[in-house]
C-alpha cells in the first residue's frame, strides 16, 4: 500500500473545518486492504479509503433544526437524511470524494467501518458503544477517496461492556428485546406499538439505551430522542 499523501491529509483538514458549523465530526479513517472490500467511487473504481462522519451527542441537532426551518417542505419525509445529503454531499463535491450515506440501500457496512476506524465495539443493543460518548453518537455519512488517508480519530482502548457485569441496558428493556444478548427487532417493535411503548420508549427514547451509564453527558436532547424513535417505520 502506498503512503498517505500530503494532499489527502490536507483534504481531511478542509473537510473537518467544513463539517464543524453543522455539528458534525470526522470520526475516523479507514484504508481498504483489498479492492474487494471497498465501495466504488463515482468513477467506478474501488475506493482506497473512507473517512467516517458523524454526530457526537446532540451536536447536530440545532444546526439541523435551523436548516429544517428554511428547507423547502421542511426537509420532506426523511429530513435528517435529506440534511445529511445536502451538507455532506456538498463537502464531498468540493473535496473530490464520493459520499455514502447510512440510510441508502444497499447499506454500506458503516458499523464495521467504524469498528476498524475507531476501535469501538458493539453493545448488547447492536449499536456501537464509545468509551467516552457511550451510545450517544451516530454516523451521518462517509467520504470515499481514491488515495489512502493518514490514521485519524481518537482510537479507543477498552470496550466498556466488557467490565459491565450488571448490564442495565438488558434489564431496562421493557420489551425483553435484549434478553438473548442480541437485539430482537420484532419484540422491540411489537412493544413500541402498545400503549406503554407509545408513552415510554417511543416518546422519550429507547429505555435500554438510556440505562447505559457510559457517556451520560452526551445523551441526546428529548426532542432529538423522540425524533429518532418516531422515524422508525412501525
Residue 230 binds ligand B12 (CB under 6 A): no
Q: Tell me: does residue 232 bind ligand B12 (CB under 6 A).
A: yes
Q: Which residue in the set 37, 65, 183, 198 belongs to the binding site for ligand B12 (CB under 6 A)?
A: 183
User: Considering beta carbons, is residue 68 or 228 the nearer one to ligand B12?
Assistant: 228
Q: Taking CB under 6 A as the criterion, which residues in 185-204 touch ligand B12?
A: 185, 188
- 137 touching ligand B12, by CB under 6 A: yes
According to the binding rule CB under 6 A, does residue 58 interact with ligand B12? no
Q: What residues form DSSP beta bridges with 52?
A: 28, 142
112 binds ligand B12 (CB under 6 A): yes
- Closest CB 28 distance from ligand B12, rounded Å: 13
> Among 15, 127, 178, 214, which residue interacts with ligand B12 (rule: CB under 6 A)?
127
Question: Per CB under 6 A, does 109 bind ligand B12?
Answer: yes
* Nearest-approach distance from CB 37 to ligand B12, in angstroms: 11
User: Could you say whether residue 82 binds ligand B12 (CB under 6 A)?
Assistant: no
Of 4-12, 90-98, 118-126, 142-150, the segment contacting ligand B12 by CB under 6 A is 118-126
Amino acid at each position: 500500500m502506498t503512503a498517505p499523501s500530503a494532499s489527502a491529509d490536507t483534504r481531511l483538514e478542509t473537510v473537518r473545518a467544513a463539517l464543524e458549523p453543522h455539528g458534525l465530526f470526522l470520526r475516523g479513517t479507514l484504508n481498504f486492504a483489498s479492492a474487494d472490500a471497498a465501495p466504488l467511487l463515482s468513477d467506478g473504481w474501488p475506493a482506497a479509503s473512507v473517512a467516517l462522519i458523524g454526530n457526537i451527542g446532540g451536536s447536530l441537532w440545532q444546526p439541523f433544526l435551523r436548516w429544517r426551518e428554511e428547507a423547502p417542505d421542511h426537509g420532506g419525509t426523511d429530513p435528517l437524511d435529506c440534511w445529511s445529503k445536502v451538507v455532506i454531499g456538498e463537502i464531498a463535491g468540493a473535496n473530490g470524494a464520493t459520499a455514502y450515506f447510512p440510510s441508502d440501500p444497499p447499506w454500506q457496512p458503516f458499523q464495521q467501518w467504524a469498528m476498524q476506524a475507531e476501535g469501538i465495539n458493539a453493545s448488547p443493543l447492536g449499536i456501537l458503544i464509545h468509551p467516552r460518548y457511550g451510545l450517544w453518537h451516530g454516523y451521518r455519512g462517509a467520504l470515499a477517496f481514491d488515495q489512502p488517508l493518514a490514521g485519524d480519530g481518537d482510537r479507543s482502548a477498552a470496550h466498556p461492556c466488557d467490565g459491565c457485569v450488571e448490564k442495565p441496558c438488558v434489564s431496562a428493556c421493557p420489551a425483553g428485546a435484549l434478553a438473548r444478548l442480541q437485539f430482537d427487532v420484532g419484540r422491540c417493535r411489537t412493544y413500541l406499538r402498545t400503549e406503554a411503548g407509545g408513552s415510554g420508549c417511543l416518546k422519550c427514547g429507547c429505555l435500554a439505551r438510556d440505562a447505559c451509564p457510559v457517556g451520560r453527558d452526551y445523551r441526546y436532547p428529548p426532542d432529538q430522542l423522540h425524533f429518532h424513535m418516531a422515524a422508525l417505520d412501525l
